[in-house]
Amino acid sequence: MSSSPRSVRSNSGDERIRVRAHALRLGLDLSHLADQPQETPGQLSAQPTLRNLREAATSLAATWFSLCGFNPVIPVEPTVYDLLVSMPDGIKRVQVKTTTYNSKNGWMIQVGRRPYSIGNNARLVPYDPELIDLFFIVDGDLSLYLIPSKVIAGRVGLLLRTYSRYIVGNAAGLMAPKAA
């Protein structure tokens, strides 16, 4: 077996399965290793990053609504909205959007959608305010906005600082503290 730095440091389940499979193929008895204590993993080295904001935003929105006492549901089928939320005044259809583009004037976001086209290069069109009730937006500072669709109807892009009255929270505490 090679003693390259990669194979020495690797402690993945795939590597253990590979070694166990080779031992089985070679007829080696590994039963004496079964009772060995497992190493306790060290501190998780994962670091939150804004590169994953788009994938995390729907979960952030669902969590925010849950913490407010509303019941969010993520639709099973592809729909024009990302969440359905049961609120006191009825079921709301929520479109979740994110931005990490900070222009010289502040956070900019595209709130339009692209109609299906080959290459996905069609011009942005606004969402129909009859199909979306609320926009839940997360910017690069992890500020959370809840904007009624009628407020931004017809628009495909926004400068978020003009919508600061719609900020409902901030999730920046989810980011790992920076090293001193």
pLDDT for 35 beyond 90:
no
Sequence-ordered alpha helix ranges (H) in the chain: 5-9, 13-26, 53-67
- Selected residue with higher pLDDT from 9 and 109: 109
Query: How many whole angstroms separate alpha carbon 112 and alpha carbon 55?
Result: 18
Within a domain: 158? yes
Percent of the chain surpassing pLDDT 70: 82
Confidence (pLDDT) at 38: 58
- In this prediction, residues 30-54 reach a mean pLDDT of 73
Residue 111 resides in a domain:
yes
Q: How confident is the model at residue 6 (pLDDT cuts 50, 70, 90)?
A: very low
**In-domain check, residue 9:** no
The CA-based diameter of the chain, rounded to the nearest angstrom, is: 71
- Over the stretch 114-153, which tens digit does the pLDDT of each residue have? 887 667 778 899 999 999 999 999 999 999 999 999 999 9
Q: Pairing between strand 143-148 and 101-103?
A: unpaired
Q: What is the pLDDT of residue 1?
A: 47
The domain that holds 81 is classified in CATH as 3.40.1350.10
How many domains are contained in the chain? 1
Residue 40 belongs to some domain of the structure? no
More confident residue, 20 or 97: 97
Is 57 among the domain residues? yes
Confidence of residue 10 (pLDDT cuts 50, 70, 90): very low
Q: Which domain holds residue 105?
A: 50-174
In a domain, 8, yes or no: no
Q: Is residue 35 part of a domain?
A: no
In angstroms, what CA-CA distances link 57 with 78, 89, 117, 135, 150?
17, 24, 25, 12, 22
Confidence grade of residue 17 (pLDDT, cut at 50, 70, 90): confident
Q: Is residue 78 domain-resident?
A: yes
